[in-house]
Amino acid sequence: MTDTESKPERYVRAPSPESLGEAPGRGRLKGRRVLIVGGGQRVFDAATDPIGNGRAMSILCAREGAKVAVADLNHASAQQTVKRITDEGGEGFAIAADVTSEADVQRMIAEAHRAMGGLDGMVLNIGTFGKTGLDNVSPEEWNGIFDVNVRGPMLCCRAALPIFDSGGAIVFISSIAALKAGSQMAVYDSSKAALGGLMRNIAHLGARRGIRANLVYPGLVDTPNGREAGAGRPNRGKGHVPFGRQATAWEIAYAVLFFLSDESVYVTAQTLAVDSGLSGM
């Protein structure tokens, strides 16, 4: 290529019907009973917010035939997710829960189990951000974020495993921030990296009963959370993303669906980055 020749335009991977949440259900979770922890949605700009990861996961699981318990700290938001499910003819239940409270977690698990008549799927879509760097985060703030991002998922697994159906599946939601220090939030990155160790131990504990545990690393995703994290950073998710755009929450949800479904029945203790190759290239 000479200096006078122009570079080809970057290819942008066009969204599929699945990317847009427009694909029909295919019965991939028919008869299953799934708890989505963090199935509500934060608000960044109510007028323009896209769907968030937890809401997309909840709707997709119901669309694929599962009963879905939607748990969230914000009960009203969980109820809004359930309304989206029932409006499509699915079956959903809203539960308020604070994952930093062991008593709350135990009640949440018991309520989900009772409402659905069992429990054979759980998604741990739990996470909160912190400030950048080290000096900006007090030891107390550090511990508080780890309480949500790591201790919370641990408490959920500890409460759920004794009553979890054999052959079920647990999916942890981490972040590619666990793989590379791009967020500049040491506390967030560290907590999300810790989930890998927790996931592998849950996979080990569940193996005798065929309970699988796997982890998804979302990349840059266009969600209310993503927009909040990128506020003041107009270039977030543009030129440096290999596919030329951010992911949609539905694209993360389909990766979770794979790990919940019988299509991954021989897969456990594994991770999947849904990031257009951002973490590997």
What average pLDDT does range 250-261 have in this prediction? Answer: 98
Query: Is the C-alpha dihedral spanning 235, 237, 241, 243 positive or negative?
Result: negative
The mean-pLDDT minimum among 101-110, 220-229, 230-239 falls in 230-239
Sequence spans of domains, the chain: 33-274
Rounded to 5°, the CA angle 261-128-211 comes to 25
Q: Which tokens is 131 given?
A: 């400030």
Q: What pLDDT does 168 receive?
A: 98
Yes or no: say if 198 and 255 are a contact pair by the CB < 8 Å rule. Answer: no
Give residues with Cβ within 8 angstroms of 277, minimum separation 6.
Answer: 242, 243
Q: What is the DSSP letter of 221?
A: B
What average pLDDT does range 232-249 have in this prediction? Answer: 74
Which carries the bigger pLDDT value, residue 81 or residue 5? 81
Q: What pLDDT does 92 receive?
A: 98
Give me the percent of the chain exceeding a pLDDT of 70: 93
Q: What pLDDT does 210 receive?
A: 98
The length of the chain, given as a count of residues: 281
What average pLDDT does range 38-60 have in this prediction? Answer: 91
What average pLDDT does range 75-104 have in this prediction? Answer: 97
Q: What is the pTM of this model?
A: 0.92
Would you place residue 231 in the very low, low, confident or very high pLDDT band (cuts 50, 70, 90)? low
The mean-pLDDT minimum among 14-28, 65-79, 184-198, 224-238 falls in 224-238
Q: What pLDDT does 238 receive?
A: 53
The single residue listed with the structure tokens 């309480």 is 147
Q: What pLDDT does 142 receive?
A: 94
Q: What pLDDT does 82 receive?
A: 98
CA distances, 153 to each of 67, 159, 192, 203, 230 (Å): 21, 10, 11, 14, 25
Yes or no: say if 38 and 68 are a contact pair by the CB < 8 Å rule. Answer: no
Q: What span, in angstroms and rounded, lies between the C-alpha atoms of 9 and 7?
A: 6
Q: Does the structure show a pLDDT above 90 at 47?
A: no
Give residues with Cβ within 8 angstroms of 203, minimum separation 6.
Answer: 212, 213, 214, 268, 269
The mean-pLDDT minimum among 129-138, 140-149, 267-276 falls in 129-138
Q: Per-residue pLDDT tens for 139-183? A: 999 999 999 999 999 999 999 999 999 999 999 999 999 998 878
Q: What is the DSSP letter of 209?
A: G
Which carries the bigger pLDDT value, residue 61 or residue 135? 61
Would you place residue 196 in the very low, low, confident or very high pLDDT band (cuts 50, 70, 90)? very high
Could you tell me the fold of the domain covering 33-274? Rossmann fold (3.40.50)
Q: What pLDDT does 8 receive?
A: 64
Q: For all residues of the chain together, what is the average pLDDT?
A: 92
Q: What pLDDT does 235 receive?
A: 56
